[in-house]
Amino acid sequence: MSAYTINPMTSHGTGAEIRGLDLSRPVDPEVKKRVNDDFAKHHVLIFRDQKLDSHQFAAAGEIFGPLMSHHHKDIRAGHPEVYEVRNVEVAPGKYHIQGGSFHTDHSNHPCPPRATVLHTVSLPRSGGDTQFVNMHLAYEDLPETTKRRIGGLKAVHAFESRYSPRKLRPLDEEGRKQLPPPALHPLVRVHPDNGRKFLYLNPVRIDAIIGMTDEDALALVAELMAHATQKKYEYRHKWVMGDMVIWDDRSVMHQANPDYDMKELRHLYRIMIQDDPKHWVAEGEKTLAAAAA
Ligand SMILES: [Fe+2]
């Protein structure tokens, strides 16, 4: 068995760094089990010193499960499921930066991803950190009255909420064709791998909460977001060339930082890992269209 060392990155158990593992080669089943166990415990894993082409990167992601397709179909990096993240100049001096407010990926899908993975291709000299907040800790710290208030609530997640704090890049035609109808997800879920409850929030996509006025739903989401994004729940990742970072899209939210020199290229490969639909369907979650039928 190829050994590796693991070092926690925070005192609250969010994020851990792994050294001594070369992901350009297949890992044996024992290592695969160990990294998946570590992932359920730490929610964000940082694999240092990797140098992966897009196919090796896709294969490394499959240690955590089959890959999930991105809803944007137009930015591929030599592999059908490897998407590229880069600071793109959309007009002279104007850049589109993805993920610039706290969110979780693709929550408008009936079965959102288990995880997202990034790997460095090119980094700016400074800035461009990714922040993660632990949604287990955020839930566990809520007052009991709030836990009771939100326990049975379900949110409607659309591709882009009418109230999204930022504008998303429009989908191309193929992406539009494959877009699922808005999905219903509980605000509080149980993590299938570690059994802990977590808050499932995404202001970019939450368009309504069933049984609430939009005004009350927005106020509740804002209150929960203010609580969940406190520094005490955060791991802030400073990127180093060679990093491959995987995060759990259920137990953490994340945000990108457009605080670097936009003339410098920030370029990463990105993939998502499928979740098991039974984890979502078992909780009575379904698409709005199915609920209305
Ligand atoms: Fe994201």
Distance 268 CA to ligand 1 centre (A): 12
105 CA → ligand 1 middle, Å: 5
Q: How far is the CA of 130 from the centre of ligand 1 (A)?
A: 10
Is residue 2 over pLDDT 70? no
pLDDT at 125 over 90: yes
Residue 287 Cα to ligand 1 middle (Å): 21
AA letter at 131: Q
Residue among 40, 37, 20 nearest 251 (CA): 40
Q: Could you tell me which residues come within 8 angstroms of residue 168 by beta carbon, excluding any fewer than 6 positions away?
A: 159, 160, 204
**Of 56-60, 235-239, 249-253, 274-278, where does mean pLDDT reach its minimum?**
274-278
Say what percent of the chain tops pLDDT 70. Answer: 94
- Tell me how far the alpha carbon of residue 106 lies from the centroid of ligand 1, in angstroms: 8
Q: Is the distance from CB of 287 to CB of 154 less than 8 angstroms?
A: no
Q: How far is the CA of 3 from the centre of ligand 1 (A)?
A: 31
Q: Is 88 exposed, middle or buried, given 0-12, 13-18 or 19+ CB atoms closer than 10 A?
A: middle
Ligand 1 centroid to residue 206 C-alpha, Å: 15
pTM for the full predicted model: 0.94
**Mean pLDDT score across all residues of the chain:** 92
Distance 144 CA to ligand 1 centre (A): 30
User: Averaged over 78-93, what is the pLDDT?
Assistant: 88
Contact 102, 133 (CB under 8 A): yes
Reading the block at residue 151, the tokens are: 């326990």
Measured CA to CA, the distance from residue 170 to residue 51 in angstroms comes to: 32
pLDDT tens digits for range 193-233: 999 999 999 999 999 999 999 999 999 999 999 999 999 99
> pLDDT tens digits, residue range 128-152?
999 999 999 999 999 999 999 999 9
88-109 average pLDDT score: 89
Supply the pLDDT for residue 188. 97
Spatial CA neighbour of 98 closest among 161, 167, 179: 167
- Which residues sit with Cβ closer than 5 angstroms to ligand 1, an ion? 99, 105
Residue 285 has pLDDT above 90, yes or no: no
Does the structure show a pLDDT above 80 at 241? Answer: yes
DSSP character string of 56-117 = HHHHHHGGGS-EE--S--S-B-SSTT-EEEE-EEEETTEEE-TT-SSB-TTTTSSS--SEEE
Query: What is the pLDDT, as a whole number, of residue 150?
Result: 98
Instruction: Give the DSSP H or E segment for 6.
Output: strand 5-8
